[in-house]
Structure 1
Amino acid sequence: MPTIVALHELTTEQKQIIKDTAPDYELIVGKYKELPSGTVAQADILLGWSSAVKEEALNGNSRVRWIQVWSAGVDRMPLQELKQNHVILTNASGVHGIPITEQIFSMLLAYTRNLHYAVRYQTENRWDKSGTFRELHGKTIVIVGVGQIGSTTAKVAQAFGMKTIGVRRSGKSDPHIDVMYTTEQLDQALAEGDFIINILPLTDETKGLYDTGRFDAMKEGAFFVNVGRGPSVDTEALLVALKSGKLSGAGLDVYEQEPLPSDHPLWDMDNVIMTPHTAGDTVHYNDRVLDIFIENLKAYRQGVDLPRNVIDYEKSY
């Protein structure tokens, strides 16, 4: 009997959905270290991934032919080995649209309405009305990496009365983007933004993308948000831009080094709002990943191409 091995905890209802969709498959659920040796290698479909399973999942005796990962980013996966083993890889892209969009705007609103200061003052029992209070309305937001998350972010931005500028490799239009640029026109787009939002995946092309030159290209006093990948930003260049006033502030959820060291200078910067890589977290996460998996599972059993989130190994996303 073909086998699905799920390395993430599933509710009774979620297990039943998988069984109802693929009654001819055995479903095994458990953390990798708790499963009998060889269980992963005998799986036809692997639901979940960790570095610990690599050797067993990719050895010469492995039956694994499809892996559904729990994250949108696959930059830490052994992509070339998966390609050589003819393993289909699907990610969780699309799961994060709502939580990451809300995280982005929580940072933008905290910054414009000085909520990050208010929270600090509250812990000191301090009544302080000083500061400049800004608005999102009428400002320009530049979204670098317009996919599902970027489009959702742009839709919300329009509801706030913002002008939306997008950047994507293809330059293809989006209904919620007022002006779309290609990645070759990135500097031109950055120069127009009051708020710059990075949602790019990590690839060879995006690693270190935001360097001194990129921050110099931004409008004076822009606010930079990174909910994409930490290594896409040269942290030293970011620190210089923040300290010089080139950037008025930043909202960061991802970092070059995670966890961020306790003595890192970012911790002590009043104009920086930080979260510990939680922008995509939500109580609805597992249900949304399962929705993607079930749609693909139906196609897999029929022997047709999977309709959602198949990773292109040449592009690394």
Structure 2
Amino acid sequence: MSQNQKPIITVLTAPDEDAPPGIEAVKARGEVRFAWDEATLREALPGSQVMMVTDFRTEALEAAWPVADKLEWIHATSAGVDALMFPALIDSDVAVTNARGIFDRSIAEYVLCTMLMFAKDFPRSMRLQAGHKWKHRDTERAEGREVLIVGAGSIGRQIARLARGIGMNPHGIARRARNDDDDFIAVHANEQLFDQLAVADYVVIAAPLTPQTEGLFDQKAFAAMKESARLINIGRGPIVNTTDLIAALNKGQIAGAALDVFEEEPLPQDHPLWEMGNVILTPHMSGDFIGWRRALTDQFLENFDRWHQGEELFNNVDKKLGYAGS
């Protein structure tokens, strides 16, 4: 487009969400319109060339899609884009980018923390402290433990890097095997998942939600894991069948789980996971470091400048696969 022509940018937010920090810098580059439901999207989208999505209300966007007459690019301010992948968008020429890279290190630190918490029995120590109980125990060493990272993309690679840094042995699962990734001991193809589950001490889900990964961790997967293994999910909740996970934990098929994402969010107050002593729960916050909202806007602006100059965007999502390439 002409550099003298001001582009129109629609920002899709939640109804109760403040404008993204740094939005003034976006307004300096174009006309910014805000939307938060189908009605406001139908008002904002006509003429818009760019969308910045901070709230993933797929039904509203899909319903308003017919009025998106000039849209060229949608940027999702998250690593996962599963909520955006409705058929009309997938089949369109509209480019989709994501926030890959913003949360990678923070999520990796979270995963390392949970593995060490399990190894050093911190959940029990905190319960004992709350009860003013002095109870000495021996704990595990993390060094030498086998870590299987399901999803060997940019987040998985950061997890592997930190795990390897303390002497753990990280293996990855990806669409294709590869032997040239220095962060992993090895990266195995999807077909090798169950073989690798049988030897892993920690299984970390860092995969995107796709039709292939939805419900991947079910009764069969838990039965393949070691009884001493722990599951950590920082990917997407529906990758794990929660009913099967609870059954596996209760039967001792696996030793514990750390969950940051769930099939149903927020997790209901009466959900059985809350009461399980071998489960660590956090409310979908593994990547959210202080200042992350401004970092997302800055990343969008960097890509926006590339788009405005006619340059290639970074973090392009393969819409049919549902994620950006690794």
Normalised by the size of structure 1, how large is the TM-score? 0.88
Out of 17, 39, 46, the residue aligned to residue 51 of structure 2 is: 46
Which of structures 1 and 2 has the larger relative contact order (alpha carbons within 8 angstroms, sep 6+)?
2
Of stretches 104-113 and 154-163 in structure 1, the one that deviates more from structure 2 is 104-113
- Mapped to 2, the partners of 1:289 and 1:271 lie a distance apart of 34
- Mapped to 2, the partners of 1:141 and 1:261 lie a distance apart of 30
Aligned partners of 2:46 and 2:70 also within 8 Å: yes
For 1:75, the equivalent position in structure 2 comes to 82
- Mapped to 2, the partners of 1:61 and 1:148 lie a distance apart of 32
Is the aligned partner of 1:32 residue 2:36?
yes
Of stretches 290-299 and 186-195 in structure 1, the one that deviates more from structure 2 is 290-299
Of stretches 295-304 and 202-211 in structure 1, the one that deviates more from structure 2 is 295-304
For 2:174, the equivalent position in structure 1 comes to 168
Superposed CA RMSD in Å reads: 2.4
For 2:293, the equivalent position in structure 1 comes to 286
* Structure 1 runs not aligned, ≥5 long: none
Aligned partners of 1:41 and 1:57 also within 8 Å: no
Amino acid at match of 1:143: I
Amino acid at match of 2:36: Y
Amino acid at match of 1:136: A
* Local SS of the residue matching 2:67: coil
Aligned partners of 2:8 and 2:33 also within 8 Å: no
Question: What is the deviation of 1:141?
Answer: 0.9
For 1:133, the equivalent position in structure 2 comes to 139
Is the aligned partner of 1:15 residue 2:24?
yes
Question: What is the deviation of 1:36?
Answer: 9.6
- Mapped to 1, the partners of 2:119 and 2:214 lie a distance apart of 29
Aligned partners of 2:214 and 2:240 also within 8 Å: yes
Aligned partners of 1:80 and 1:313 also within 8 Å: no
- Mapped to 2, the partners of 1:284 and 1:225 lie a distance apart of 25
Cα–Cα, structure 1 residues 29 and 244, in superposed 2: closer, same or farther, change >3 Å?
same
- Mapped to 2, the partners of 1:263 and 1:11 lie a distance apart of 35
- Mapped to 2, the partners of 1:273 and 1:169 lie a distance apart of 29
Is the aligned partner of 1:156 residue 2:162?
yes
Cα–Cα, structure 1 residues 269 and 2, in superposed 2: closer, same or farther, change >3 Å?
same
Post-superposition Cα deviations, 1:239-265, rounded to whole Å, max 9, x if no partner, equal: 222112221111111112222222222
* Local SS of the residue matching 1:247: coil
Question: What is the deviation of 1:30?
Answer: 4.4
For 1:303, the equivalent position in structure 2 comes to 310
Amino acid at match of 2:232: V
Aligned partners of 2:45 and 2:67 also within 8 Å: no
* Local SS of the residue matching 1:101: helix
- Mapped to 1, the partners of 2:104 and 2:307 lie a distance apart of 25
For 1:240, the equivalent position in structure 2 comes to 247
* Local SS of the residue matching 1:175: coil
Cα–Cα, structure 1 residues 221 and 37, in superposed 2: closer, same or farther, change >3 Å?
closer
Question: What is the deviation of 1:83?
Answer: 3.0
Cα–Cα, structure 1 residues 19 and 39, in superposed 2: closer, same or farther, change >3 Å?
closer
Cα–Cα, structure 1 residues 123 and 29, in superposed 2: closer, same or farther, change >3 Å?
farther
- Mapped to 1, the partners of 2:322 and 2:42 lie a distance apart of 30
Is the aligned partner of 1:144 residue 2:144?
no
Post-superposition Cα deviations, 1:51-93, rounded to whole Å, max 9, x if no partner, equal: 2751675123533221111111111124321134422111112
- Mapped to 1, the partners of 2:84 and 2:189 lie a distance apart of 27
Aligned partners of 1:198 and 1:227 also within 8 Å: yes
**Aligned residues with identical type, % of pairs:** 34
Question: What is the deviation of 1:185?
Answer: 0.6
Is the aligned partner of 1:119 residue 2:123?
no
Post-superposition Cα deviations, 1:92-111, rounded to whole Å, max 9, x if no partner, equal: 12211122111112211222
Amino acid at match of 1:146: A
* Local SS of the residue matching 1:62: coil
- Mapped to 1, the partners of 2:62 and 2:9 lie a distance apart of 18
Question: What is the deviation of 1:291?
Answer: 4.1
Amino acid at match of 1:284: G
Post-superposition Cα deviations, 1:25-60, rounded to whole Å, max 9, x if no partner, equal: 33x264637979723333211112442751675123
Amino acid at match of 2:301: I
Post-superposition Cα deviations, 1:134-161, rounded to whole Å, max 9, x if no partner, equal: 1211211111101111111111111111
Aligned partners of 2:35 and 2:41 also within 8 Å: no
- Mapped to 2, the partners of 1:228 and 1:115 lie a distance apart of 23
